[in-house]
Amino acid sequence: MAYSADIDALSPDHRWSFDGVYTDSIGSANGTNSGMAISGVPICEDVSNRVQSNSIADRVTLATSTDIEGALSQKGFGGWFRVSAINQPPTRIYGEGDATTSFAMLLGFGNNVTFEIDSNDFTLQIFGDIPLENNRAYHLWMGFDGNGGTDEFRAYVDGVKQLDSADTSLGVASLGARTVGEFGDPVGTVAMGGVALVIIAPINGNYSQWASWSGVNAMLTDNEIRQELFEKGALADVAITNQSGLDVLAGTIRSNAPLCIRVDVVGDITLTADNVTFDPLSSIHVQYNGTGTLTWVNTNGSNASISSSIGGGSVVIQNEVNLKYRILSVSDSSPIEGVRVLVRDSGSSTILTGTTDSSGEISGTYLHASDEPYTIKGRKVLYQQANSSGTITTEGVDSTVLMIGDT
pLDDT in tens, 209-231: 999 999 999 989 999 999 999 99
Strands 160-161 and 102-107 come out as unpaired
How high is the pLDDT of residue 109? Answer: 80
Asked, as a colleague might, if the bond just before 280 is cis with ω within 30 of 0, I would say no
pLDDT in tens, 270-327: 999 999 999 999 999 999 999 999 999 999 999 999 999 999 999 999 999 999 999 9
Q: Give the C-alpha separation, 406 to 352, whole Å.
A: 25
Question: By C-alpha distance, which of 405, 360, 367, 234 is closest to 309?
Answer: 234
For residues 243 and 106, membership in a common domain is answered with no
Residue 87 predicted with pLDDT over 90: no
For residues 285 and 381, membership in a common domain is answered with no
How high is the pLDDT of residue 166? Answer: 64
List strands edge to edge, sheet with 286-288: 236-240, 259-263, 286-288, 307-309
In sequence order, which residues have a C-beta less than 8 Å from that of residue 283 and are 6 or more positions away?
A: 158, 159, 160, 230, 234, 257, 258, 259, 306
**Please, are residues 352 and 378 in contact by the beta-carbon 8 Å criterion?**
no
For residues 241 and 276, membership in a common domain is answered with yes
* Final residue before a domain boundary, out of 177, 209, 231: 231
Residue 96 predicted with pLDDT over 90: yes
For residues 111 and 212, membership in a common domain is answered with yes
CATH, residue 174: 2.60.120.200
For residues 218 and 83, membership in a common domain is answered with yes
Indicate the average pLDDT of the chain. 94
Higher pLDDT, 26 or 56: 26
**Please, are residues 122 and 173 in contact by the beta-carbon 8 Å criterion?**
no
* Final residue before a domain boundary, out of 172, 203, 231: 231
For residues 57 and 151, membership in a common domain is answered with yes
CATH, residue 350: 2.60.40.10
For residues 304 and 381, membership in a common domain is answered with no
For residues 197 and 269, membership in a common domain is answered with no
Q: Give the C-alpha separation, 210 to 27, whole Å.
A: 13
* Final residue before a domain boundary, out of 206, 231, 256: 231
Q: How many CB atoms lie within 10 A of CB 223?
A: 10
For residues 266 and 395, membership in a common domain is answered with no
Among 102-116, 190-204, 304-318, 324-338, which is the least confidently predicted range? Answer: 190-204
For residues 27 and 121, membership in a common domain is answered with yes
**Mean of the pLDDT values across residues 370-395?**
96
The Cα diameter of the chain in Å comes to 93
**Please, are residues 172 and 146 in contact by the beta-carbon 8 Å criterion?**
yes
Question: By C-alpha distance, which of 261, 263, 258 is closest to 292?
Answer: 263
Identify the band that residue 26 occupies on the pLDDT scale cut at 50, 70 and 90.
very high
Strands (E), 193-266: 195-197, 205-214, 236-240, 253-254, 259-263
Identify the band that residue 179 occupies on the pLDDT scale cut at 50, 70 and 90.
very high
Q: Give the C-alpha separation, 256 to 284, whole Å.
A: 10
Q: Give the C-alpha separation, 242 to 269, whole Å.
A: 8
For residues 241 and 375, membership in a common domain is answered with no
Phi-psi region of 351 (alpha: psi -120 to 50; beta: other; left: phi over 0): alpha
Three-state secondary-structure class, residue 239: strand
Identify the band that residue 177 occupies on the pLDDT scale cut at 50, 70 and 90.
very high
Q: Looking at the 3D structure of the chain, how many domains does it have?
A: 3
- The CA–CA distances, whole Å, from 128 to 44, 78, 153, 231, 256 equal 21, 14, 14, 19, 17
List the domain range (segments joined by +) for residue 146: 3-231
Residue 235 predicted with pLDDT over 90: yes
CB neighbour burial string for 291-313, b if at least 16 within 10 angstroms, e if fewer:
eeebbbbbbeebebeebbbbbeb
DSSP states of 142-180:
EEEE-TTTT-EEEEEETTEE--B-S-----SS-BPP-PP
**Mean of the pLDDT values across residues 53-69?**
95
How high is the pLDDT of residue 201? Answer: 72
pLDDT in tens, 124-172: 899 999 999 999 999 999 999 988 889 999 999 999 999 877 677 788 8
For residues 298 and 347, membership in a common domain is answered with no
Question: By C-alpha distance, which of 154, 157, 117, 165 is closest to 139?
Answer: 157
In sequence order, which residues have a C-beta less than 8 Å from that of residue 332 and are 6 or more positions away?
A: none
